[in-house]
Structure 1
């Protein structure tokens, strides 16, 4: 441990020494800043700067660079006035005190100049707000610029976000990969840790300001998450006073009632934000079927069919508070809780044949229950330097934990050659995590240097029990051979150093992160252990080149790590279906990925983004299915199955056809190939995957608006199978009332198709399997949204905080 900490401290010290060596200032005083337009916030070049003494005597004249920045250095101690002047803009004068020799440098930050209009009594300017914005390492989707934010929830709106897709099971994919992290306002939240689908279904899209898809995460982020990071920004500029939103919805026949809202307030130096929501998600009776054909000396055919239904209740509450002690010191804290309760019922008929001979038959009634709750709390302290308020030191601490309890009762009837008794299974999981972090930001002219240290201590445990029914005593007795207690600890120690540099039309982000991971798994019941230690160096690089006519080119490279999560590690064996068992694997190793991408973006009247990418995976963690001919059971678990590669082409476009009619496209096409070893035999699979969402909306008179969406989702490829494609549509109408304070909307999804067959095909060295589930496809929803409040001045928040984005999503 001592050697690990010494290595981390050495790397961080190197970063600080680099920052110090670069930061040598010219002799004398120094005044710097950036000039921007107060309306569109764009930086302005060639703005005249005049430096006067306090006696209004001219000392120096200069002008801003292409990035809007300016520097006036080698100044004698004294009091000055800086005058900013530009054609068409109101002149601005700012006094600067350089008389204190201990404070020779003053950074004025961003100086905004207001446009001047002469000779017109009234000028009305209308503009189309861009929805998609390409930045050096991310793509941002402006949710407030999309009028359908009042119609759908956050999960449904993600179909329109570039690089994101949502399948028929409401699973979110980033570049076709389910391994990513979701942050809320740049921080992890327990709301998203256990089951992000429940929370996103509950969260009204109208409460979200924007969604950032971070495709090339900088080194300051943890190395985990093969695909990248989804950052949901809910905070708007909250001023002195208060503001809020309330959203109520109803969805049927799939879904149910939902209620959510946000509330923000600022009183002087104290600011707070509150967000909450809850919903019921019902799934009516759904028909399911499975067919499995095995090969070998004794081939068999298994056919199962039945119905399943579920009802789930979920809710969350989040609270953030910040207090500005003075202009240099800021403290903030956050607290989030969430919970869910679900009940399910499955009836299934199972028949196993060998030619015309019945080998086995039974019927199953399975009643399940799932209860979970999570909580996290964090405290941050931020200190700004007197010489430059953008020079920041941040200390952060976060605690996060959740529990999840599962119970299933399996009863069997109509038995033929099947003697397995009825049984119950329990799985009680607990997870806790403590994180301590130090971040330091040191800007030097056009160079921004960041460095930090981080320690994460995770503790997972699972107590799973299996009880068989004894017909003689009419009681359930524990089966110790199928029960176990499992603990898993993971400690991650990391350090990072990043550099961001802006030069004329070039932007650069580069850095590296080192991480030492120590893992210990302990099977208490069987007295066996698994120990792992690995050390990683993770680089990242993002380059942006601005072109003419609001265009730009981006290049990104990053190396990422996928550490297995508790759901993949937990050896609990789910025997809800006697012929199919599912479990985790405690011996999983981390997976690695190298990701390259190039993009072109242009924004004028409309916007277009085009990108290509190549991703290479090593030691991928993927589900593996193996058929055992001795027991006629297919066992599914997770394994580091092999390698994969993915080629991708991305195209997104937003275009206002008229001031009332808009069009948008979000599309991606990829070819993937994965290969590995399953049950001792080489297995490979490949195919084309695609997604496309076409959306159009028209604004009618009197506050009405109509929208239409068409989504096409291609097959998903894994090492042992594929899922079928999907085409869905939705139509909505909304109306704004009471000066846009209230909006009402109604939508229908897939009006021409009541049901959809979701099909999954799986193959192995000695079997083929097909699973079909008939889902309700035609659904309806009604939504009412209300905004209230009045604001004047924005809440200040810590610019740095804890982001634990290093463990694979549990869903």
Structure 2
């Protein structure tokens, strides 16, 4: 019966896809198909299992010193003769694991978790009559780390799958050395990063990006810019949270992305130096730490330079002008980019006593990007007749700096998992985004005029946050979390236009409030949340929560008599997660949540951007937030020593912020923004982590979704809709050679992306590195290459409206060769007392860019 249903549903789905029409029936059949397929698969597995004895090995993993459980530790069952991986499992929040899915025979059990010495058991005999073996409590010893005498016990998996998130362990990927955070994120499942560093999750760019659980002002301004400030070597791991609980800010309709940087809880003193020098860029980093008794200090500094980054720009526009004629505009230019980034931080932590902890940090960053278009040549044709030919040089400077100051107090209790914390954050980001446009005369020999735009943007945030977590009752099967938060945010845009004659004439300010003004935007977000987690038996985990946020806004122009009247609003944000552990160690989970996306300064900024006179844009201070409902269904399993994860989802966004494009009398495309869009997406993703052998591993993923976009307008001159499939994928390989040599390779490809009025072209990237460790693994040296067979990437973008047809091509020469070097000095040992550190998590700006089973399957916040 199951086979018949699945076959019929597959045929129905195929017909719907071929018609490329998404209807309510198709959505229902798609969801029903997934449900039936999972049910039939599990039923089939159950039927097969009835004919054979089910062997089971279980146990509980504990900390050898504190006696606490170790959640999410990895358990692997190896053949005692061949030492090949046969089966595996991941411990729940109580440290309990169950391994099934193997035959009778002799086996070795291996347990591992970051910060602990690996455990290897004696031979375990499994045979009929001895089908269930409980090993009881198994205690792991914390790993002593001496950099003068290092012993490597094994390598953590590159990708880990947990019930509420996917974790990418970037520290195990050597192909990113010399890059920045955007290079790391291209390797993470479910994420897509374009060449400009703009990040999207499952096709949505409306995501919350946290750094160590906190969001600074620079991230709120522009995610792509912030990522360029973080060197890849500083990133420990990346967490992708597709269904955030009520504890997280309601912002980020696509989900939450948490970038975890490298920190330590080590006693002693250390200094780490790492550097990379390449054809396109270089970096130098220093990281020092000092820990004596209860007090610790960390000091880190990372600088990165990018140079020799050449490219090209081509653009063709066909416009229907207001008088009814047709205009054809062609543009072409060579591009040059240079950049200099730095990020520096000073951290302090102090253990008052067993239960009370203080942490504080100051972080500063700088970002200088200078982009040049040399010889931007523009030809304009009206009804096939050439009417003008203009030559310009365009210089765009994006110079910024930022500072974050954090202070956190955490109190723990004798009762496990009970915790209270208070966190504060002050963050400020200054961003000068200026350009100079120089126009040549008719013979293209001398500059006859110049236009300059100066735009100083300032984003300030002050946040206070309280969180309380406590188990309910005498077991760990119930957990209650609640808290409150307030964010005061002030954004300012001080902009002015200037004109000058010739190449040396003095600039004169334009006396027009549309071009020279100061805009202030004050926002206050007050929030409260409650979340409850319940574990039912050893199989089910339920987690539900509700968050309420109230937002007040004041906006004003310095040179305008009337302020922008923006009403206050409140929103309830529910979330619900359910997970079920299956008897064979597999897991199925489902989730629903509602999210809100407030517009960031780049959508609000009223400064008119005319860096390219043919394509001008202006923000809208009166924008409202977007609202999105997310539904998700996932299934994870183990096949031999490999893991597989399947996820399907549906996303519905109303009030989507979309561009509105018009053609001016000067044949210029002018872009503004309105809350006129509706976005829906039905998607499916699969990724796998494959252990080919103890020395060779592969992991990869494929993400695809069907996007449906409309702006909801009735006027045929402005109405727009689009739909289609978007596919992306990635593959990573790691091979360990004798004598401390290692080879890693990576490739990523993103297909054409569907947009409301056209599409963005696809592209691919790849890289390879080889590294050698020396001097008892204190140092390493290696060689890396990126895109070594591709001289230039070319991305073709398309824009289509009733009055506009535009095709543009952006080229970038991204071939790179680099030498990497790092060395560590010092002797460290792991501190015995492990504790969680909490902090502020601001997540509310739209960017243009198992107690028992499980009660705590969803409690890893």
TM over 0.5: yes
Establish whether residue 113 from structure 1 lines up as the match of residue 139 from structure 2: yes
CA distance in 2, matches of 1:451, 1:414: 66
- Is the CA contact (8 Å cut-off) linking 2:309 and 2:814 kept in structure 1? no
Change in Cα spacing, 1:507 to 1:741, as seen in structure 2 (3 Å) is farther
Equivalences for residues 466-545 of structure 1 within 5 A: 466-469=497-500, 474-481=505-512, 482-503=515-536, 504-530=538-564, 531-545=566-580
Q: Helix, strand or coil for the counterpart of 1:240?
A: strand
Deviation track 1:728-781 (CA, whole Å, cap 9, x = no partner) reads 332222222222222222222222221121111111220100111221142222
Equivalences for residues 225-304 of structure 1 within 5 A: 225-243=252-270, 245-252=272-279, 255-295=280-320, 297-304=324-331
- Is the CA contact (8 Å cut-off) linking 1:317 and 1:336 kept in structure 2? yes
Equivalences for residues 126-141 of structure 1 within 5 A: 129-141=156-168
Equivalences for residues 296-445 of structure 1 within 5 A: 297-346=324-373, 347-385=375-413, 387-388=414-415, 390-415=417-442, 422-444=450-472, 445=475
Choose which of 621, 624, 630 in structure 2 pairs with 1:595. Answer: 630
Establish whether residue 644 from structure 1 lines up as the match of residue 644 from structure 2: no
- Is the CA contact (8 Å cut-off) linking 2:71 and 2:93 kept in structure 1? no
Q: Which moved more, 1:550-559 or 1:590-599?
A: 550-559
Q: Which moved more, 1:160-169 or 1:371-380?
A: 160-169
The equivalent of 1:610 in structure 2 is 646
CA distance in 1, matches of 2:190, 2:267: 37
Deviation track 1:515-536 (CA, whole Å, cap 9, x = no partner) reads 1111121122122322221110
The equivalent of 1:705 in structure 2 is 742
Q: Helix, strand or coil for the counterpart of 1:568?
A: helix
CA distance in 1, matches of 2:152, 2:314: 59
The equivalent of 1:216 in structure 2 is 243
Q: Helix, strand or coil for the counterpart of 1:705?
A: strand
CA distance in 2, matches of 1:279, 1:472: 33
Question: How far has the Cα of 1:343 moved from its partner?
Answer: 2.3
Establish whether residue 762 from structure 1 lines up as the match of residue 826 from structure 2: no
Establish whether residue 187 from structure 1 lines up as the match of residue 214 from structure 2: yes
Change in Cα spacing, 1:231 to 1:147, as seen in structure 2 (3 Å) is same
Question: How far has the Cα of 1:670 moved from its partner?
Answer: 0.9
- Is the CA contact (8 Å cut-off) linking 1:669 and 1:690 kept in structure 2? yes
CA distance in 2, matches of 1:614, 1:472: 55
The equivalent of 1:103 in structure 2 is none
CA distance in 2, matches of 1:193, 1:614: 26
Q: Which runs of 5+ in 1 are unaligned?
A: 1-33, 45-63, 70-86, 90-109, 116-123
- Is the CA contact (8 Å cut-off) linking 2:229 and 2:365 kept in structure 1? no
Choose which of 792, 803, 808 in structure 1 pairs with 2:830. Answer: 792
Question: How far has the Cα of 1:35 moved from its partner?
Answer: 5.7
Change in Cα spacing, 1:464 to 1:203, as seen in structure 2 (3 Å) is closer
Change in Cα spacing, 1:749 to 1:147, as seen in structure 2 (3 Å) is closer
- Is the CA contact (8 Å cut-off) linking 1:136 and 1:542 kept in structure 2? no
Question: How far has the Cα of 1:145 moved from its partner?
Answer: 4.3
RMSD: 3.1
- Is the CA contact (8 Å cut-off) linking 2:396 and 2:611 kept in structure 1? no
Deviation track 1:690-722 (CA, whole Å, cap 9, x = no partner) reads 111112232222222223323221112211121
- Is the CA contact (8 Å cut-off) linking 2:491 and 2:521 kept in structure 1? yes
Q: Which moved more, 1:796-805 or 1:776-785?
A: 796-805
Question: How far has the Cα of 1:450 moved from its partner?
Answer: 1.0
Change in Cα spacing, 1:472 to 1:36, as seen in structure 2 (3 Å) is closer
Question: How far has the Cα of 1:478 moved from its partner?
Answer: 1.7
Q: Which moved more, 1:195-204 or 1:529-538?
A: 195-204
The equivalent of 1:170 in structure 2 is 197
Q: Helix, strand or coil for the counterpart of 1:532?
A: coil
Deviation track 1:69-104 (CA, whole Å, cap 9, x = no partner) reads 9xxxxxxxxxxxxxxxxx989xxxxxxxxxxxxxxx
- Is the CA contact (8 Å cut-off) linking 2:62 and 2:95 kept in structure 1? no
Establish whether residue 454 from structure 1 lines up as the match of residue 485 from structure 2: yes
Q: Which runs of 5+ in 2 are unaligned?
A: 1-58, 74-90, 97-119, 123-135, 142-150, 850-861
CA distance in 1, matches of 2:267, 2:259: 24
CA distance in 1, matches of 2:740, 2:792: 34
Deviation track 1:354-399 (CA, whole Å, cap 9, x = no partner) reads 13422222111222323211111121222234x5263222222211
CA distance in 2, matches of 1:625, 1:111: 65
Deviation track 1:22-52 (CA, whole Å, cap 9, x = no partner) reads xxxxxxxxxxxx96344894689xxxxxxxx
Change in Cα spacing, 1:427 to 1:556, as seen in structure 2 (3 Å) is same
Q: Helix, strand or coil for the counterpart of 2:245?
A: coil
Question: How far has the Cα of 1:164 moved from its partner?
Answer: 1.4
The equivalent of 1:744 in structure 2 is 781
The equivalent of 1:627 in structure 2 is 663
Q: Helix, strand or coil for the counterpart of 1:624?
A: strand
Deviation track 1:556-591 (CA, whole Å, cap 9, x = no partner) reads 211111100111101001111222212211111100
Change in Cα spacing, 1:631 to 1:191, as seen in structure 2 (3 Å) is closer
- Is the CA contact (8 Å cut-off) linking 1:449 and 1:498 kept in structure 2? yes
Q: Which moved more, 1:240-249 or 1:305-314?
A: 240-249
Change in Cα spacing, 1:326 to 1:738, as seen in structure 2 (3 Å) is same
The equivalent of 1:660 in structure 2 is 695
- Is the CA contact (8 Å cut-off) linking 1:624 and 1:720 kept in structure 2? no
Change in Cα spacing, 1:572 to 1:150, as seen in structure 2 (3 Å) is closer
- Is the CA contact (8 Å cut-off) linking 1:208 and 1:232 kept in structure 2? yes
Change in Cα spacing, 1:222 to 1:65, as seen in structure 2 (3 Å) is closer
CA distance in 2, matches of 1:286, 1:777: 9
- Is the CA contact (8 Å cut-off) linking 1:136 and 1:507 kept in structure 2? no
Q: Which moved more, 1:232-241 or 1:143-152?
A: 143-152
Question: How far has the Cα of 1:785 moved from its partner?
Answer: 2.5
CA distance in 2, matches of 1:244, 1:184: 23
When normalised by structure 1's length, the TM-score is: 0.82
Q: Helix, strand or coil for the counterpart of 2:403?
A: strand
CA distance in 2, matches of 1:193, 1:759: 29
CA distance in 2, matches of 1:472, 1:756: 34
Question: How far has the Cα of 1:434 moved from its partner?
Answer: 0.9
Q: Helix, strand or coil for the counterpart of 2:563?
A: strand
Change in Cα spacing, 1:757 to 1:273, as seen in structure 2 (3 Å) is same
Change in Cα spacing, 1:728 to 1:397, as seen in structure 2 (3 Å) is closer
Question: How far has the Cα of 1:266 moved from its partner?
Answer: 2.4
- Larger relative strand fraction: 1
Change in Cα spacing, 1:547 to 1:142, as seen in structure 2 (3 Å) is farther
CA distance in 2, matches of 1:706, 1:627: 53
Change in Cα spacing, 1:741 to 1:193, as seen in structure 2 (3 Å) is farther
Change in Cα spacing, 1:206 to 1:41, as seen in structure 2 (3 Å) is farther
Q: Helix, strand or coil for the counterpart of 1:641?
A: strand
Q: Helix, strand or coil for the counterpart of 2:830?
A: coil
When normalised by structure 2's length, the TM-score is: 0.77
CA distance in 2, matches of 1:197, 1:66: 35
Question: How far has the Cα of 1:486 moved from its partner?
Answer: 0.6
What is the aligned residue count?
709
Question: How far has the Cα of 1:195 moved from its partner?
Answer: 4.9
Q: Helix, strand or coil for the counterpart of 2:215?
A: coil
